[in-house]
Amino acid sequence: MFSNEQAITASAASTDIIDLGSSRDVGAGEMDTVLVQVVTSFDALTSLTVALQTSSTENFASPVQLTEATLSLASLTAGAKFSIGTVPRGVLRYLRLYYTVTGSSPTVKITAGVAVDGVHQDTAIYADSL
């Protein structure tokens, strides 16, 4: 899990990071999908960009962006679910999400994590499958 009902009120990193350890054996041959669910509807902003970042250090002193998705206010309603892509091979040791708010500051909650592609992606709450 990167975020468990994390309040998004400004641009910020996910509350949690994933430490892949020294082996970085992501998914044992499966495609790992980054899944995001809007817990409460966004009440303000123009768009939200969710980016998957990796780093060799836990403090993300020099993060490397892997993939991102930008969503408009209209698509950020309670219960909305989306994928921002898959975790590519060859990532560095640590992973996190970074939320970039464009426009007015929102008050909203996001749950996000990584799941093996095709497993539980249609469940009501992704947190149960992550």
Mean pLDDT by 10 residues, the chain (130 residues): 94 95 59 89 91 96 94 92 88 94 89 72 40
**The pLDDT of residue 26:** 54
Residue 101: inside a domain: yes
Q: Is residue 130 part of a domain?
A: no
43 φ/ψ sector (left φ>0, alpha ψ -120 to 50, else beta): alpha
Cα 37 from Cα 83, distance rounded (Å): 9
Work out whether the CA dihedral 20, 23, 24, 29 comes out positive or negative.
Answer: negative
What range defines the domain where residue 19 resides?
A: 3-23+33-123
Q: Give the pTM.
A: 0.84
Q: Could you tell me the CATH number of the domain that includes residue 114?
A: 2.60.120.1110
- Please count the structural domains in the chain: 1
**Residue 56 belongs to some domain of the structure:** yes
